[in-house]
Chain A
């Protein structure tokens, strides 16, 4: 569905428009919110923030007339998540804005360029693992989900998902070791 069709649907039938909006953009919103809240919030905070974002977009659907929908949604998710993060960190009133926060430093000191290269290589090799292994690894090591949740999401038993995860990790380590 195009942006204009989606806008028209939200205007004519809010329920159907809400479902379609969620269907098209939940991954995008979840990704933005999760990236900002992963270190300061819980799973429930992420879900609450995602829900708040969609509710706000739907409440102000008229405001996005003419504007790029994805950009508007991205901005709304980003701002909501930042506010959530500030609220969760409210013990320290003058918190460092997240965009200005220093990059975490690993135990092994590496140059920025090497780190960036490694990151790109890692992402590419995760893709090369194929499905469902790449999804299992991302769900586990980026989204921090339990194996039971991952298994249910990809349609495997918990044991099977665990075994696939272990094997995928071994292959990934070997590939990256060979590359280095």
Chain B
């Protein structure tokens, strides 16, 4: 038996055989264990920002949104509402000096975490998490069915320079969808920032007036007619309802 044949055969193991093989023979080095545990801790630990503000809690305003479309075109324009709530375990804290909330501001308190402010300004919704100054605004500008995928496009705008330290958390751990495919929320299976796939940027920096596009793809079952796009990691966060029509 050649080495190549052996590798090929081992490469076609069933999940059950692979699990047995690993349980008996997988040995990770200390550094590998530390690396993985470090990454787990990173994902579970909120990040404290500088120049952060204490925002007064208020109940979230919700404005559900409806998209309707036939399978190849958007047939109805819709107002879009995305609320940024607090992102359990995965977002950054605002703290220190209190600010005067304006009338359009609202926030959602998540247990154990200080609130993150969402500013409602017309049909744009803003998230201000770990920002140096200003706020980041998001608007869903398109949602279309592509076979078994839901393709959502978000436009990001800033009224001042914005910095997020961990965009992969912003992108993958927020905007989870209930697509009906699995019990619980679904993460996007693909994403693109400013039309580019591949390595995501290490930070999101938008100067005043600049915009960027974030595209997310979620798997859906063909029979699902309603998708909820949650601005957060659980179904307790505000959501946008997207209705699918043939």
Chain A interfacial positions (CB closer than 8 Å to B): 14, 18-19, 22, 26-28, 30-32, 34-35, 38-39, 47-48, 50-52, 54-55, 58-60, 63, 74-75, 78-80, 82-83, 86-87, 90-91, 93-94, 103-104, 106, 108, 115, 118-119, 122-123, 127, 134-135, 138-139, 141-143, 149-150, 152-154, 169, 172-173, 176-177
B6, B39, B234: the one contacting A141 at CB < 8 Å is: B6
CB of B13 within 8 A of CB of A154, answer no
Chain B interfacial positions (CB closer than 8 Å to A): 1, 3, 5-13, 15, 17-19, 21-29, 32-33, 35-37, 39-44, 88-90, 146-147, 149, 172, 182, 184, 187-192, 197, 217, 219, 233-234
Q: Which of B12, B17, B37, B189 has the most CB of A within 10 A?
A: B189
CB-CB under 8 A for A59 and B88, given A22-B37, A86-B189, A141-B10: yes
CB of B7 within 8 A of CB of A30, answer no
Chain A residues within 8 Å of B27, by CB: 135, 139, 150, 153-154
A31, A52, A94: the one contacting B43 at CB < 8 Å is: A52
CB of B187 within 8 A of CB of A83, answer yes
Q: Which of A74, A138, A150 has the most CB of B within 10 A?
A: A138
Cα distance, A115 to B21, chains bound together (Å): 18
Cα distance, A91 to B219, chains bound together (Å): 16
Chain B residues within 8 Å of A78, by CB: 15
Cα distance, A104 to B35, chains bound together (Å): 33
CB of A94 within 8 A of CB of B21, answer no
Chain B residues within 8 Å of A135, by CB: 24-25, 27
Chain B residues within 8 Å of A47, by CB: 32, 35-36, 39
CB of B26 within 8 A of CB of A91, answer no
CB of A138 within 8 A of CB of B21, answer yes
Chain B residue at minimal CB-CB distance from A115: B9
CB-CB under 8 A for A35 and B13, given A51-B43, A153-B29: yes
Cα distance, A115 to B224, chains bound together (Å): 40
**B209, chain A: closest CB distance, angstroms:** 30
**A140, chain B: closest CB distance, angstroms:** 9
CB of B22 within 8 A of CB of A177, answer no
Cα distance, A19 to B38, chains bound together (Å): 11
Cα distance, A152 to B44, chains bound together (Å): 29
CB-CB under 8 A for A91 and B40, given A123-B17, A172-B1: no
CB of A18 within 8 A of CB of B25, answer no
Chain B residues within 8 Å of A115, by CB: 9, 12
